Amino acid sequence: MTDRHALTQTFMQPVTARNSGQDTFLQAVEEVAADVLTIEKNNPDYATAKVLERLTEPDRVISFRVTWVDDAGDVQINRGWRVQTCNAIGPYKGGLRFHPSVTLSDLKFLGFEQVFKNALTGLPLGGGKGGADFDPSGRSDGEIMRFCQAFMTELSRYIGPDMDVPAGDINVGTREIGYLFGAYKSLKGQFEGAITGKGMAFGGSAMRVEATGYGLIYFIQAMLDHAGDTLSGKRIAISGKGNVATHAAEKAICEDGIVVTLSDTSGTLIADDGFSQDAVDWVRTQKQKGADISDPPAHLNLSFEKDALPWDQSFDIALPCATQNEIDANAAHSIINAGAIILAEGANMPLTADALDKIAQSKITYAPGKASNAGGVAISGLEMSQNAHGQFESADAIDQNLKKIMQDIHARAAAEGREDGKINYRRGANVAAYRKVADAITAFGVV
C-alpha cells in the first residue's frame, strides 16, 4: 500500500463511521483526502489544526419542514435543508437544489465541494449548499411560488449578505430565485443581496445565467491553449439539457466547436455535423416548457436515440453536465474508446469513483468540476460585490471578468498539479483550494 493510500484509508475510517450511509459525501471527501493529506501531514500547522477533519464536519446543518398547499387545496409536506459547510474565507455560498432524490448526503457532498470550488475562484466566498426533496415537475407556477415562499419562511432565519448567500442549482433557476428573493425581502423588510442569480430588474448580474456553461468552455480553452491546441473543429459530446449543458453548447458553437450531443434521462440527441444555435434554443425551450426532447423538428437535423448515452459517439471532448455519478466505469470506458482527449466536468462529481480511476489511468486530461464549473459561483461572487456597491457592470465587462477568472483558476490548478511533465488538474485544484482554506483556518486558532 502506498503512503498516500494508507493515509487516506486511516483518515476515512472515522469519517465513514460518523457518516455511515452518506455515500456521495464520503465519495467527495475521499477524492479530496487522497490528494491533500500528504500536504497536511507535511505542514505542522495544518496537521495540528486537523484542517481536513474539520472540513468534513459542516459548521452546521439546518433541516426544516416545508408546509405548503397545492392547487387541489391539499397540504403538502417536504423536507428542506441548508448545509453551512465552512465560512473561513467568506460567507457561506452555494446553490439550492430542488429534486425528489435530494438527500442530506448529497447536500453535504455539494457543500464540501463548494468550499474548494469557491476558494479556487480567488473571491471571498465560503461554502454551503441547500435544497429540498421537492419535485417541481408537473407543478403549476402557483405551486412553485407557494413552495418557494414556504421554503424561504424557514431559510430566511439563517441567511443574509454577510452570513450565507444561496443561489440556484438543479431545478432552481431565475423564476424560483425571483420567488425566493421576493419572500426573503418581504419577511425581512429589507432589500439586500442575500441571494444571487437574481433577475436583472432587481439586483442580478449580467451573465449569471450563462456563466457556468460559458466558464466551462473558457476553462477547456485554457487547457487546450496550454497544450498548444485550440477548440476550433473539436467534436464535443455534452450530457444534460439544462442551464449548464445548453450554455456550454452555445459558447462552444461560437468558438467553432462541433457539439455532437445533448441528452436527458430518456436518451440522447445527436447532430453528427454539429448542433446549430437554433437546435440548442429548441432544447432550451423544451426544457423550459417541461417537454421532452425526443421529437425534434426535421429542419434542425437532429436524431434522437432513446435510452442512449452521449458517450458512444465519436468526439474529442466530453462534457458531463447532467448530475452526480452519471458516468460509471462503463461510460468511462466508452469515453476512452471514443478517443477523447479531454473530459471536463460541468456537473458536480459526475464521475463515480471507479470511473474516475479509469479516466486517471487513461491518456485523457481530466478537469474536475470544482475548477471547470466554477464560473457560475464566480459570477455570483461578482453579483454580491455589485449589490454591495450598488453599481452594475455591463455584460461585456462581466464576460471578460469570467474569462479571466477561469484562466486564473486554470493557472492555479496547473501550478499545483505538475506531475511527470503533465498536469494533474484534479490534484492541482484540490491542493490549491485546500492551501487557501487551510491558511485561513489555521490563522483563526481553534474555533
Would you tell me the crossing angle of helices 425-443 and 23-41 to the nearest 10 degrees?
70
Determine the angle formed by the axes of helices 353-361 and 23-41, rounding to 10 degrees: 50
Decide whether 146 or 287 has the Cβ nearer to ligand GLU: 287
Distance CA 279, CA 284 (A): 9
Could you give the strand order of the β-sheet that contains 75-86, starting from the edge strand earlier in sequence? 60-69, 75-86, 127-132, 92-98, 164-168
Residue in the block written with cell 450598488: 390
Nearer to ligand GLU, 167 or 317 (CB): 167
Comparison of 343 and 377: residue with beta carbon closer to ligand GLU? 377
CB of 93 to ligand GLU, least distance (A): 5
* Dihedral angle computed from the Cα positions of residues 423, 429, 433 and 438, in that order, rounded to the nearest 10 degrees: -60
Written as nine digits, the cell of 189 is 423588510
Report the nearest approach of ligand GLU to the CB of residue 441 (Å): 21
Q: How many CB atoms lie within 10 A of CB 413?
A: 29
Helix, strand, or coil (residue 160): strand
What cell was used for 259? 457539439
CB of 398 to ligand GLU, least distance (A): 14
**Is 129 in the active site?**
yes
CA–CA separation, 86 vs 181, rounded Å?
Answer: 23
- Which residue in the shown chain puts its C-beta closest to ligand GLU? 95
What is the nearest approach in angstroms of ligand GLU to the Cβ of residue 241? 17
Residue among 129, 234, 370, 403 flagged as catalytic: 129
Q: In angstroms, what is the minimal distance from the CB of 283 to ligand GLU? A: 20
Closer of 106 and 169 to ligand GLU (Cβ) = 169
Nearer to ligand GLU, 355 or 377 (CB): 377
Q: H or E segment at 364?
A: none
- DSSP label at 327? B
Exposure on the CB side of residue 162, measured as CA atoms within 13 A: 1
Tell the smallest beta-carbon distance from residue 377 to ligand GLU (Å): 4
Environment class of 190 (CB within 10 Å of its CB; exposed 0-12, middle 13-18, buried 19+) = exposed
Contacts of 168 (CB under 8 A, 6+ apart): 95, 96, 174, 176, 177, 197, 243
Nearer CB in complex with ligand GLU: 167/224:
167
433 Cβ partners below 8 Å, 6+ apart? 115, 116, 117, 119, 120, 370
DSSP helix/strand/coil, 92: strand
Least Å distance between CB 7 and ligand GLU? 28
Residues in the chain: 447
Give the integer Cα–Cα distance in Å for 182 and 202: 10
> Strand 365-367's sheet: what is its strand order?
303-306, 267-270, 258-264, 235-239, 317-320, 342-344, 365-367
To ligand GLU, the closest distance from the beta carbon of 94 in angstroms equals 5
Contact residues toward ligand GLU (CB under 6 A) are 93-95, 117, 167, 169, 196, 348, 376-377, 380
Closer to ligand GLU by Cβ: residue 204 or 269:
204
Judged by CB, which is closer to ligand GLU: 94, or 146? 94
Say how far apart CA 372 and CA 82 lie, in whole Å. 24
Q: Which residues are catalytic?
A: 129
